[in-house]
């Protein structure tokens, strides 16, 4: 799951398949009071990786400049990368700067992989539906790649004991 954080700490969760638009007016995120921001300045989107492996990042976050006059930039390890219409694949902790002033956001990635225990198939299906909406993965394996264990009721099992260790 990817999230976007502004300089004040406000968080926006980025859902797979949605395109978030940045601009001066009528955008998902309005960057007001800055003449260096275009009406439609840039977009950011999250795409699910087709070959999901629980130990890898489950999705890719991409920022694309929409042909703005003053640009969209990614700051990574103190290096400034200019975003194009084709986009830049973001990495966790990248900063995105829009225009000339201080419209800076940080992207973060939260690895969401949950194993299940003692869940009936309808519960697993509902859980998979929810996790797909936020870019997470439900798996039957219970190794170090799992970040959570989901159960329909609190019961002590070997899987629970393993996750506690």
Q: How confident is the model at residue 58 (pLDDT cuts 50, 70, 90)?
A: confident
Instruction: Report the candidate in 5, 100, 10 with the shortest Cα–Cα distance to residue 44.
Output: 5
Give tens-digit pLDDT for 146-164.
888 888 887 666 655 555 5
Q: Which pLDDT belongs to residue 146?
A: 83
Q: Which residues contact 62 (CB under 8 A, 6 or more apart)?
A: 44, 45, 46, 47, 87, 88, 89, 90
Q: How confident is the model at residue 141 (pLDDT cuts 50, 70, 90)?
A: confident
Give tens-digit pLDDT for 24-49.
988 999 999 999 999 999 999 999 87
Which two structure tokens, joined as six digits, stand for 148? 């959570």
Q: Which pLDDT belongs to residue 46?
A: 94
Judged by average pLDDT, the poorest of 49-58, 97-106, 125-134 is 49-58
Q: Which pLDDT belongs to residue 107?
A: 98
Q: Which pLDDT belongs to residue 148?
A: 87
What fold characterizes domain 2-109? Answer: Tumour Suppressor Smad4 (2.60.200)
């Amino acid at each position: 799951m990817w999230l976007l954080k502004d300089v004040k700490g406000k968080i926006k969760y980025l859902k797979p398949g949605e395109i978030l638009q940045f601009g001066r007016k009528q955008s998902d995120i309005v960057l007001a009071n800055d003449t260096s921001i275009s009406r439609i300045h840039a977009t950011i989107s999250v795409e699910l990786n087709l070959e999901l492996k629980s130990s890898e990042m489950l999705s890719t976050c991409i920022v694309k400049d929409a042909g703005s006059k003053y640009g969209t930039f990614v700051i990574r390890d103190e290096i400034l990368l200019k975003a194009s219409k084709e986009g830049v694949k973001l990495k966790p902790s990248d900063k995105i700067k829009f225009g000339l002033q201080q419209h800076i956001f940080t992207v973060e990635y939260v690895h969401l992989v949950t194993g299940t225990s003692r869940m009936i198939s309808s519960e697993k299906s509902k859980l998979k539906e929810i996790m797909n909406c936020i870019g997470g993965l439900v798996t039957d394996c219970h190794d170090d790649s799992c970040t959570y264990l989901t159960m329909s009721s609190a019961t002590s099992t070997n899987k629970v004991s393993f996750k506690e260790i």
